[in-house]
A and B are shown apart, each in its own frame.
Chain A
């Protein structure tokens, strides 16, 4: 079936299989930041934003995405400059092998849009669907707290 997908503000017209998942279509279109990992809704590596909310593209039917705005991490860095969330993850050592980072960045972006000054508890709750096998998660939490500080907000530690 034919599908119109809006990804990072750009409209793609794409031929899909009706039983296909969004993850497959995104990767086929070249959005390789969207990782395939567990493929069973457990790890968060395939996270994308649908209308601003984090969802798992491995378990979302591509056909469902029609009429919604999909956002991947490719939309964040402008002119080769990293987004402050990405910068912050690098600074705290939250980006070791880097595989899980696109998912983390997108979930964090959605969190900060909904709640610009999250407490540590709120950060942990929001990020608990994103698994990282390199770190002990502390660096990611620190990174998010640092962004609040950098953006001039109050840090709820």
Chain B
């Protein structure tokens, strides 16, 4: 229970929600799935703005992209036919490792990005797919990258309304290391590869829970571009990840441990994509 909550709002438009939030940011919280907020045990939160009735819980398909409302739950997203059509089993399999069924029925896609958690498996996957955010603030709607969202100061943070996924023909693999699926990842890795026959045309290599926020490892991406997707390339990627690893230590694991795990997972992810596609 959040002990100091005095007001619970259920606005029905994005504008109304944002204005309510802006009235008193330091004591307000936007509520998506609620799993993060409920566990905060914060005593400064006095106003909850529940985003349930904003109509942000559907998934649509455009010519070359998929647009998901920020309030789509992780479970609905992974089982959605449009998502499966564009991404195959990637999200279905990757998100089966996110929390438990119960948590996935509560947690939302937007709510997984908004608190800027370093260990979020969802964020790692979204960055690998090149997803962008539609956000709302005083200036109205904007299309920004997840990186831009992360660098917005807290007092200026906009409200995420939609997530746009480019349908650009990448193949993906996700790896997570944790004691159980509903434990926080010690490391998570998502790799996206665009192939021209068996040559790697472009790639996105994302490592999260380092324990810092998930980030792309451009040295690895550049290093394997133009190479054939095979076991040798996968091992080159493993070495590059090891050499260029950026992360830290915390209670869960040391930086050295994470460095080894991340390297192995990048290699395995590439081999899995090869197995899947070629």
Q: List the interface of chain A (C-beta within 8 A of B).
A: 1, 17-21, 24, 40-42, 44, 47, 50, 53-56, 58-61, 63-64, 107, 125-130
Contacts and interface: CB of A to CB of B under 8 A. Distances in A.
Given A19-B5, A128-B181, A60 B106 contact: yes
Interface in B97-114: 99-103, 105-106
Contacts of A60: 34, 38, 106
26 contacts: A1-B8, A18-B7, A18-B8, A19-B1, A19-B45, A20-B1, A21-B1, A41-B35, A41-B38, A41-B103, A54-B102, A55-B105, A55-B106, A56-B106, A58-B38, A60-B106, A61-B31, A61-B38, A61-B50, A63-B8, A63-B48, A64-B34, A64-B50, A64-B52, A128-B181, A129-B182
Contact of A129 (B6, B31, B101): B101
Interface string B65-104: 0000000000100000000000000000000100111110
Give chain B's interface secondary structure class.
Answer: mixed
B101 A19 contact: no
Contacts, number: 85
A39 B48 CA distance: 20
Interface in B131-186: 180-182
Contacts of B100: 44, 128-130
Contacts of B106: 55-56, 59-60
Contacts of A1: 8
Contact of B2 (A19, A47, A54, A125): A19
A56 B1 contact: no
Contacts of B103: 41, 56, 129
Given A54-B102, A128-B180, A129-B99, A59 B38 contact: yes
Contacts of B10: 63
Contacts of A24: 1
Contacts of A21: 1, 38
Given A19-B2, A41-B39, A64-B50, A54 B8 contact: no
B232 interface: no
A130 B182 CA distance: 11
Nearest to A18: B8
Contact of A17 (B1, B31, B34, B181): B1
B99 A19 contact: no
A17 B8 CA distance: 9
B276 interface: no
A129 B52 CA distance: 24
Given A24-B1, A129-B182, 14 more contacts: A17-B5, A18-B5, A18-B7, A19-B48, A21-B1, A40-B39, A41-B103, A54-B101, A55-B105, A60-B34, A61-B37, A61-B50, A63-B48, A129-B101
B197 to A, nearest CB: 34
Contacts of B1: 17, 19-21, 24
